Structure 1
Amino acid sequence: MQAIAGAVWWVAVFLSPAVREATLGGLDPVMVAVLDVPLFVGASAAAAFGLRFAAVLATGWTMAVTVALAGYATLTSEAGWGVLFMAAAAGASVFALCLLILGRVPTEWILVGPFAFAPADARGGVAVHAARTAAQIVVFWGLFLVVGPLVIDLLEQRWGLAVGFPAFIRIAGLVVLLLASALGIWSAAAMSTRGDGTPLPAAMPNRLVIAGPYRYVRNPMALSGIVQGVAVGLILSSWLVVVYAVLGSLVWNFAVRPHEESDLEARFGDEFRGYRAAVRCWWPRITAVPASSTADAG
């Protein structure tokens, strides 16, 4: 699919000035094609037939081109769409390379540092866990909801990809952000006061929390974070920030959540299995499940 898409793109580049300008800017298409056709299109096609070296070559080349094109677009304000297409191709190449070399995508590789699962030190007490939770909120919300979106919005503007949103969309985004943030704080408070731990994977609760918002939905903090990201995108009038939030939700759902739930099942057994059967991951219940004195990391 990547080889075919690349070939179609190159045909469009030489047939359509609009496509050429949007994806390559002022770069000479002939000079780029001399390298890209064999290293991207050709290598991707060879990789599709199981040639591992070709897969490595296509992936390395695609990632290098993405970085170089991003630098070019940032300096010149040209070829913004080319950066997005190559970034998508780089992600697809890495995904395909993992399947070809390893037979799977090693999602556990992202569970390192503060994202590695480990129970919190229960000796700290509620006050300590609450303080650590507050610090985590400041750091992670600041990083993922302020710094990250602002950088993305800046690049979106610089690359000529910005689309203006109506004023009422920004206001709606602000309202949604406040509501989602309230849900996040409520969830964090329930986790730190009832679970002998924090929301951070490296200091997870020692008890399964079925209290507060966890009585309605299994992952209120994840739900809050995703909605917050979308709301920030609406406030900034940045469709790329909205995409960033959606991609984050996919990574969390398909890469992180299975490991988290496996860890919870191993630690809490039937208690967690019963909770998982009663409460959905994303769609809240209308009525709350019975509260439990044990705390939830779900």
Structure 2
Amino acid sequence: MLKLPPPIWALIYLLLCVALSWSLGWPSLPGLPLPLLGMALVVLSFILAVWAFVLFRRERTEIEPTSPSNRKLVISGPYQFTRNPMYLGLITLTLGIAIWIGAWPMFIAPAAVFATTNWVHIPFEEAKMRRQFGAAYDDYIARVRRWM
């Protein structure tokens, strides 16, 4: 699962959920869709992810999680509030799309993105960061939660 990056997994999950929703006739949940709330979450997800991406570029460190090493431990910007703002952005994006569309099968996508990132990608990255940055990384994870 590490060979494909999380944005590709998010796209795969969204496409599977669209296919499932379509095959079931787009079954909606009561009170949904909420297009404005969904759109707001989609916009928020891009702000969060782009902010983190720009910060990595400014710090001149690798954004690719499977890179052999990183030049710097980034702990400013959104990383002061969550250790995984890009992944949080992916979950927020898929949740926003699910709320925007309103079909209950679409809500499988954010749950699947969370599961994949939380139990596959993040443990791999945390082990790599701990090996590379040692006590500085341990101090960081003691201060900042994985999600929020």
TM-score by length of 1: 0.44
**Which aligned pairs between 1:2-81 and structure 2 lie closer than 5 A?**
none
Distance between the aligned counterparts of 1:156 and 1:188, measured in 2? Answer: 32
Q: Which runs of 5+ in 1 are unaligned?
A: 1-109, 116-139, 284-298
2:136 alignment partner in structure 1: 271
**Which aligned pairs between 1:198-237 and structure 2 lie closer than 5 A?**
198=63, 200-203=64-67, 205-237=70-102
C-alpha distance after superposition, 1:158-215 (max 9, x if no partner) = 23462266466121111111112101110111122214212x2234632101121112
Aligned AA (1:162)? P
Q: Which runs of 5+ in 2 are unaligned?
A: none
In proportion to residue count, which structure has more helix?
1
* Offset of residue 247 of structure 1: 2.0
TM-score by length of 2: 0.84
Contact 2:90 2:113 in 1 (8 A): no
The number of residues matched between the two structures is 147
Superposition misfits of 4+ residues, deviation over 6 angstroms: none
Within the candidate set 26, 38, 41, 1:173 is matched to 38
Distance between the aligned counterparts of 1:223 and 1:214, measured in 2? Answer: 11
Distance between the aligned counterparts of 1:267 and 1:154, measured in 2? Answer: 42
Distance between the aligned counterparts of 2:17 and 2:33, measured in 1? Answer: 22
Query: Against the structure 1 CA distance between its residues 165 and 186, is the aligned structure 2 distance closer, same or farther, given a 3 Å change threshold?
Result: farther
Aligned AA (2:18)? D
Query: 1:188 aligned to 2:53?
Result: yes
Within the candidate set 111, 114, 136, 2:2 is matched to 111
Higher relative contact order (CA 8 A, sep 6+): 2
How high is the sequence identity, in percent, across the aligned residues?
Answer: 23
Aligned AA (1:144)? A
Distance between the aligned counterparts of 1:219 and 1:282, measured in 2? Answer: 6
